[in-house]
Chains A and B, each alone.
Chain A
Amino acid sequence: MPQAFAATRRRLLALAERRLPALTRLKRAESLPVRLGRRRIYVLPTRFGLGFAVLLLVMLLGALNYGNNPALMLTCLLGAMAGASLFIGFRDLSGLTLTQVRVDEMHAGQPSLLRLRFDPGGRSRASLRLRLDDWEDSFALPGDAPHDIEVPCIPPTRGWNSCGRLRVWSQYPLGLFNLWSWIHPDTQFLVFPALEENPPPLPAGNGFFGERTRQGDSEELAGLRDYRSHDPRRLIAWKASLRHDRLLVRETEPRAGEALTLDYATLRGLDHEARIRRLTSWVLAAEAARASYTLRLPDTTLGPALGDAQRRACLRTLALLPPAGAGR
């Protein structure tokens, strides 16, 4: 029986989609800005509103039965006020515009914030509520300026995500009517891959400049090379320079001129996604350590470099790597 019901419902919805695209616009993602207008604001009485209607009916019958005109007037007044509250509530919602959806950098599975910018459109909004999946909060907007609403979210997967279908709703001002509208913005944002919990340290001994290497006084010299401008002065091998009559510099890096390499291929024993997670963690670790690095992936190699541009390029590429088994 429930199956038959669900099937019927599905068929009806499909029919509605086909025949009444204007009414079911909520099903499709749409581009910003999205303005709530009369075609997309839905109204139904709340359960309390229905109870209130019954109460009004009882009051009406009582007043009529006793021929009590002041009581009848009170009932009419209350009823008309309840009706007028619908329009005030509608005005609270109508004309509201979602102008932007912005996100900070986010990693899959990590709590982060969606910033929804609402433009009240010249009218202050007294009491609105917003629901996204199972998160719900209420907000109010002063009339003059756009306002950001921060919605916490945990993106499930890496890659392009959209924020999903938002329900903006209100029971303002008396709680008798439920007014709602769906907004499904087509804005997509990139979610970086999840981070590995407790990743192993960076591949050993690579990519370190400067003082970090000084601890290794005893460390074997890999060789000497000619001085280049900007080489730190303390790396200059003064005795050797004297001997060779030109400035020489100690070379401490095992592979001269090469940065730390984060290689997808070397991470054997891990599955595709785990490798991506580890590489992501390493990219961040290398950035934190200010170590120049190269990211080597099956199809691309990024770097060596260090800094925001490199980090973003690496994370983006990692985020957009096709899932295992796909594309290859």
Chain B
Amino acid sequence: MKTPLSPSTFSVLAVTTAATIATHLAHLPPWLTPALAVLIVLRVAWRRRHPGAVPGALRLPLAALLMAAIIGEYGNVLGRDPGSAFGCGLLALKLLEAETPRDARVTLGFCAFVLMSALLFEQGLPFTLMVCGVLLLQVAAFNRLEPAPLPSPRPLRQSLMLAGRLLLLALPLAFASFVLIPRLGTPLWGAPGGGGGARTGLSESMAPGQFTDLMLDDSPAFRVTFDGPPPAPDAQYFRTLVLGDFDGTTWTRTPTGRRSTTPPRLQAGQIFDYRITIEPTEQRWLPALDTPIQAPDGAVLAGDETLIATRPLLQAREYRVRSRVGAHSDTTLPAWQRERFLALPDAIDPRARALAAQWRRQASSDADVVERALALFHANFTYTLTPPLLGRDSVDEFLFDTRSGFCEHYASAFVFLMRAAGIPARVVTGYQGGWWSNAGGYLLVRQSDAHAWAEIWRNGSGWQRVDPTAAVSPARIEHGAARVNDAPSWNQTDWLRSLRNHIDIINRWWTQGVIRFDALRQRALLTEFGLVHNQAGDLLLALSGTLALMLLLATLWALRDLRDRRGDALDRGWRDLQRRLIASGLPANPADGPHSMWQHLHAQDAALAGTLRPLVDEYARLRYASATPPDAQMQRWLNARRQWLSTHLRRRGIQQRLRRMQAWFATSRSFRGSS
């Protein structure tokens, strides 16, 4: 055990460690990754020349340095981000002192833990598959620590194949335990703090240029399954946040409190029932189609008719909503709200204010003002994802100088104009459109489908959606943002996009079937299988039962006797006969030939041997007369053997067992007597 690791084994260990750390690359601080890489490479190179562990005089300062650097970066070593960075650093440091198989095992165990913590940051299917690949490497590395004394050392491929074989063997048990391990309803200790990691999605504020990142982000935001037919593409507005406060550059959310539970008035408008599976965002906003009527569990319906979850979305989450499309619930606007949705910062954007005032004077109604604004956009504005930068009077510059931009510019300028013209208005951000999967029957909405539009207050009919972007670029509403983007980036060519869309059905299955497999879904699944009570105890019972069954199967597999597979049916029959004779306490040395065996038998039990004689003779004739005895004769012999066993040996076997039991009783009695 004390022998140092061979260079090749150490290399495998180093590669495994590096691969494990690589799963954390996305969120490690930028200075740590190259430092760890250099450390590992130096260690491998150094060990080739100078075997032995790196002295503690060097390791301890390095560990202290690591800790200081982590605290400097995060202010803390606890928590998800600093913890994982610290873990990666310690793992690399552990490699410095790994010399014996025992050290290597400890290192690999630590690797497994660090690997698992990578899944706290990212849970997509491709990433999980990658993590499984690293897991296989770890298992193979474990295997390489076992001595392999054949003339040539065991090739790495063989260890990897063993790991793959173990994986296949483990799959049923892993699957069963995954399904049956009772999930915790509430965490045992605090859930991880926020910060980094999940896709941020929409945020609580909207500043120019902020959407650009989102629109280039092709990752899924959420998926929607409708109970009935889906709404038309131009009605697929998923409202998420209502931004009512403007400081000249940035729109921020107006807190409106929880919605009072007045019954929604009956209105025209279409009702949709649907289910949304949303990716983790670490925010609390839940998108919903147009106007949600009721909040799902774990969320509240805010005053501005948006859904707010009671806890941040650290995990993927699924919720059911019923929405009304085409009409809002409110008919009156309280004075304080009206004032709020008319407010503008002082002394900025004079030209826009002047234009709005001019419209107000000329227009006959609010609708007319809206018409004029949309006509302005429609006439000579262009839609682009790469607009020029705007200065202090952003709305003025956009309206009169640059005249190009995308949804957030249009929504911002439109709401500004409406407010300046005395019409209460607000910016709404959310998602518009998406990709309809025919195969999966669901709507896939990506981050790049993020959109901003406006809502204006119309006396008598309430809030009404106006999408100024549609006036500029109707295609954006019909086909989505990326289609109209005049400069397609490398990852958004048509065929690739279409391929990604089609593959998304797998991601959806992963999100719904695995990531979202929580206590609720577990219960639903098990109810189908007749486990109705589904208390944790029942689950554990089912788990133990499955475990026992699998252990039994594995045991049978492990015990499968090899001896019996050698030779032909005749050989097997003969060996079986010998085994049974031995089991009955008769002499049957496998090394003896048939006749000498029979003689030994005869010496012990002449009567029994007499009945066996024809069988022995026939066996000897069949076995030694030709290399391949005819099947029919072989079969006849096997039948005769079976008959002999059942008539003569069974009785003897029972007697034998009785005698053994008597003897056992006798010894136990004598033992009791002696003690």
Contacts and interface: CB of A to CB of B under 8 A. Distances in A.
Interface of A: 15, 18-19, 38, 48, 51-52, 55, 58-81, 83-85, 87-88, 90-91, 94-95, 121-123, 126-127, 129, 137-140, 142, 171-175
B131 interface: yes
A126 B113 CA distance: 28
Nearest to B563: A121
Contact of B120 (A71, A77, A78, A90): A71
Given A67-B518, A70-B515, A84 B162 contact: no
A68 B170 contact: no
A139 B514 contact: no
A212 B117 CA distance: 86
Given A38-B559, A142-B150, A70 B123 contact: yes
B116 A71 contact: yes
B128 A70 contact: yes
A80 B177 CA distance: 9
A32 to B, nearest CB: 10
Given A73-B174, A83-B170, A78 B112 contact: yes
Given A64-B184, A70-B119, A127 B147 contact: yes
Nearest to A120: B562
22 contacts: A55-B109, A59-B116, A63-B116, A64-B184, A65-B187, A65-B189, A68-B123, A69-B518, A73-B174, A74-B135, A76-B173, A77-B132, A80-B177, A81-B167, A84-B170, A85-B166, A95-B562, A122-B566, A172-B143, A174-B166, A175-B101, A175-B145
B554 A87 contact: yes
Given A74-B119, A127-B147, A68 B315 contact: yes
B173 A59 contact: no
Contacts of A51: 106, 109
Nearest to B173: A80
Given A74-B115, A126-B148, A69 B167 contact: no
Contacts of A62: 116-117
B139 A81 contact: yes
B146 A173 contact: yes
A47 to B, nearest CB: 9
Contacts of B174: 73, 76-77, 79-81
A55 B142 CA distance: 15
Given A73-B174, A175-B105, A91 B558 contact: yes
B61 interface: no
Nearest to A18: B671
A240 B287 CA distance: 135
A76 B181 contact: yes
Given A67-B184, A127-B146, A138-B149, A73 B167 contact: no
Interface SS of chain B: helix
A95 B560 CA distance: 10
B631 interface: no
Nearest to A67: B315
Q: Report the interface size class on chain B.
A: 35 or more
Contact of B116 (A75, A127, A129, A171): A75
5 smallest beta-carbon distances between A and B, as pairs:
A80-B170, A138-B147, A80-B173, A84-B169, A80-B174
Contacts of A76: 173-175, 177-178, 181
A95 B561 contact: yes
B125 to A, nearest CB: 9
A51 B105 CA distance: 10
Contact of B515 (A69, A129, A171): A69
B187 to A, nearest CB: 5
B559 A94 contact: yes
B332 interface: no
Interface string B85-110: 00000000000000001100110010
Contact of B142 (A38, A69, A140, A174): A174
Given A62-B116, A78-B135, A121 B554 contact: no
Given A72-B181, A83-B170, A77 B135 contact: yes
Contacts of A174: 139, 142-143, 146, 166
Nearest to B670: A18
A202 B123 CA distance: 87
B517 interface: yes
A75 to B, nearest CB: 7
A15 B518 CA distance: 52
Contacts of A48: 102, 105-106, 109
A70 B559 CA distance: 33
Interface SS of chain A: helix
A87 B562 contact: no
B250 interface: no
Interface string B159-185: 000110111011111110110010110
Kindly name the residue among A66, A71, A72, A90 whose own CB sees the greatest number of chain B CB atoms within 10 A: A66
B178 A65 contact: no
A229 B295 CA distance: 126
Contacts of B119: 68, 70-71, 74
Nearest to A78: B112
Interface string B613-632: 00000000000000000000
Interface string B191-228: 11000000000000000000000000000000000000
Contacts of B38: none
Nearest to B167: A81
A173 B189 CA distance: 36
Nearest to A88: B166
Contact of A74 (B132, B162, B163): B132
A68 B128 CA distance: 12
A204 B143 CA distance: 65
B150 A67 contact: no
Contacts of B177: 76, 79-80
B392 interface: no
B565 interface: yes
B635 interface: no
Nearest to B675: A15
A172 B150 CA distance: 14
Nearest to A143: B562
B184 A95 contact: no
Contacts of A58: 113
Given A18-B667, A122-B562, 10 more contacts: A51-B106, A65-B184, A65-B189, A68-B120, A69-B515, A77-B171, A81-B139, A84-B169, A88-B166, A140-B150
Interface in B484-543: 514-518
B596 interface: no
A171 B144 CA distance: 12
Contact of B668 (A19, A59, A87): A19
Contacts of B172: 80
Contact of A64 (B123, B181, B515, B559): B181
Contacts of B146: 126-127, 171-175
A72 B174 CA distance: 10
B58 interface: no
A67 B183 contact: yes
A155 B198 CA distance: 70
A138 B150 CA distance: 9
Contacts of B671: 15, 18-19
A83 B173 contact: yes
B31 interface: no
Kindly name the residue among A72, A90, A91, A94 whose own CB sees the greatest number of chain B CB atoms within 10 A: A72
A74 B145 CA distance: 22
A69 B184 contact: no
A19 B165 CA distance: 41
A38 B560 CA distance: 11
Interface in B649-669: 667-668
Nearest to A90: B558
A85 B145 CA distance: 14
A64 B668 CA distance: 51
B270 interface: no
Contacts of B145: 175
Kindly name the residue among A59, A60, A78, A171 whose own CB sees the greatest number of chain B CB atoms within 10 A: A78
Nearest to B557: A87
Contacts of B183: 64, 67
